[in-house]
Structure 1
Amino acid sequence: MTGPFFRSCVALGLLTLLAAGCAPAADPPHPHASDDGLPAGVTVELRQTRADVAGRQAAVAVHNGSGRPIEIGAVSVADPRFAEPATRAVARTSTVPPGATVDIRVQLARVACDAPADAAATVTLDVRDAETDAVTARTAPIVDVVPFVAALHENECLQVAAERSAAVSLGTFTASAAGETARLVLDVVPAPGEGTLRIVGIHETNLLTFPGLVDAVYPLDLDQIGTDRTPQSVELPLLPARCDAHAVQEDKRGTVFRLLVEVDGRAGSYDLAATPEQRGEILAWVAAWCGL
């Protein structure tokens, strides 16, 4: 068929195709609020790296799966296992480009030991709309995909219970010459509360060790029982566990020990970290001892 009607139909079809081909591409979806409170395409999870542990921090990882950048202001993680919400460690605004993930550090509060270990958490993000400049608070559930909160809650609550009997801390550090043993004092100060505490041992770190270890634990046998408690101090013999330069330069957990205890007959452990000043002294000693 080659008549005028056929030619008109072909021309109309070509015009339609050309118009469609010249039409501008559709704008990427704007991150509007979805039912769970976050902008569409935006997801969150809670993480903790080795570098966060000593400072009791974590990170809210915000992934922007929308087609536009988003800006995040205030951040707050509410979890019944902590006495207060965790908020931004540094007050600022973070821009999350499309397809990117940005970690926003938050400072964890003290634990609330009457909360269930499997309690659920939520995060609230202040999200700025780039078009209207309006800031709205968006709240959604958040989980730690690589779980750490439950273990942290259990360990720190054990420490809270232990400190009803006595407070344990790292005291004076005495450096040594290369090839010789340094000394780190472990101080045990009784508390007026009830309960019993037995300090079974202290675990070596990735950077520091003790002579005469059994299963990486330096044995101790310190008791704080009853009301007639007395202060105790023990000198721990200390040696570098390694001398590679990057281990000292990139240290994250080298001065965080693990204290093995029994609290009212319940066995467990919790972290015992050096203060920033002690950490500096110990790392400088390791560097000198190793000739770095």
Structure 2
Amino acid sequence: MARGRTTLVVVLTSLVGAAAVACSGAPAPSSTLGPVPDDIADHLSVQVDQGRTQYAAREIVLAVTNDSDETMTLLSGALDADGFGPSHPTKENRTPALRPGTTRDVYVELGEAECAGFPAGPEEPVPDAAPSATITLARGEFDDLGPAADVVVAEVGDPGGHLARNHAVDCATAAVAAGASLAVDADIPVETRGGELTALVTLRIDPVDGGPGVTIDRIAGTTIMNNPDPDGEETGWTGSALDGQRSGSITLPVVPARCDAHAVGEDKRGTFLPVTASVDGVTQHVIYVPMPDSARADLFAFIADSCDWPE
């Protein structure tokens, strides 16, 4: 990633014990703890993480590790990363103790991706420089805290490539949306094809007047649904399976990808259609089209019936 860098300050207000003091009328206690040591940045490391449950909300974690001998409280976090606008916290009331040798988290929703100046295409961008973070800390924990201080961690790790992936998905989603609106139907009917129960998932494609041309090239299978008649080794839908898009909709015949109940019970992303599209002939990064809640319920019920689960 390259170009403008925007500092994103996430203020997580620390009012530990203040409400109880206000209600009792007692004077606020004053801490005897001193300020955060000047060299504390040398003993902190920050890493970006993101779980599957966080993908749809574009929430990331700034995992802060304390390798010093100081017990501190994590009050706020800030991310400076190429290609993203201002973000904001998703869990504002967390003020965890950051004891020696431990790791605690700040939760941040990424701001809007800045796509101008980044090449379009299926590849995820490579940043010119590692992101940095500003972490706000105070010595102590619970209701005994010293003064807060901002500490800059110059290089934030992202071994999972979460920022690059989010940026690529965001920009591809915006490029596709400029030419077409994609939506999954609210209902999923079921019929028997070749003696096998088959669900029919319909993706609607509504072109945007004056927008670029959008062509659906592939819809991949997921952890819980697949194409009953794949083309060769393809596990999703390609070629003639996507012909319906010319009339504004694609109906996908679907069978369960697996029948172990925990696969559905623990599903995080299996109901998002992974769509690869071209915009004015340029192939984009895969994007993910969610199902409405009613369609998700239909799909789960279909899998239960197809896999002959007990009532």
TM bucket (normalised to shorter chain) is: 0.7 to 0.9
Displacement after TM superposition at 1:132 (Å): 5.3
Preserved CA contact (<8 Å) 1:88 1:106: yes
1:217 equivalent in structure 2 = 236
Matches within 5 A, 1:56-67: 56-67=58-69
1:33 equivalent in structure 2 = 38
SS in 1 for 2:38: coil
- Alpha-carbon separation, structure 1, partners of 2:167 and 2:175: 12
SS in 2 for 1:143: coil
Displacement after TM superposition at 1:137 (Å): 2.3
Bigger Rg over Cα: 1
Query: Quick one: structure 1 residues 132 and 61, their matched pair in 2 at CA, closer, same or farther if it must change by over 3 Å?
Result: closer
Query: In the alignment, which of 118, 137, 140 is matched to residue 153 of structure 2?
Result: 140
Paired residue total: 253
2:172 equivalent in structure 1 = 158
Residue-by-residue CA offset, 1:142-181 (whole Å, 9 max, x unaligned)? 2312212223312321221121111112122325389511
Displacement after TM superposition at 1:39 (Å): 3.7
Displacement after TM superposition at 1:109 (Å): 2.2
- Alpha-carbon separation, structure 1, partners of 2:169 and 2:43: 36
Matches within 5 A, 1:266-281: 266-268=282-284, 269-281=286-298
TM-score by length of 1: 0.76
- Alpha-carbon separation, structure 2, partners of 1:276 and 1:98: 44
TM-score by length of 2: 0.72
Unaligned runs of 5+ in 1: 1-29, 225-230
Q: Kindly indicate whether structure 1 or structure 2 has the higher relative contact order, using CA contacts under 8 Å at least 6 residues apart.
A: 2
Displacement after TM superposition at 1:101 (Å): 1.6
Q: What's the Cα RMSD here? A: 2.6
SS in 2 for 1:79: strand
- Alpha-carbon separation, structure 2, partners of 1:69 and 1:115: 43
2:132 equivalent in structure 1 = 122
Unaligned runs of 5+ in 2: 1-34, 119-124
Residue-by-residue CA offset, 1:65-94 (whole Å, 9 max, x unaligned)? 112322112223232312223x33211212
Matched AA of 2:266: E
- Alpha-carbon separation, structure 1, partners of 2:95 and 2:117: 32
Residue-by-residue CA offset, 1:231-264 (whole Å, 9 max, x unaligned)? 7122222221111122111112211221111112
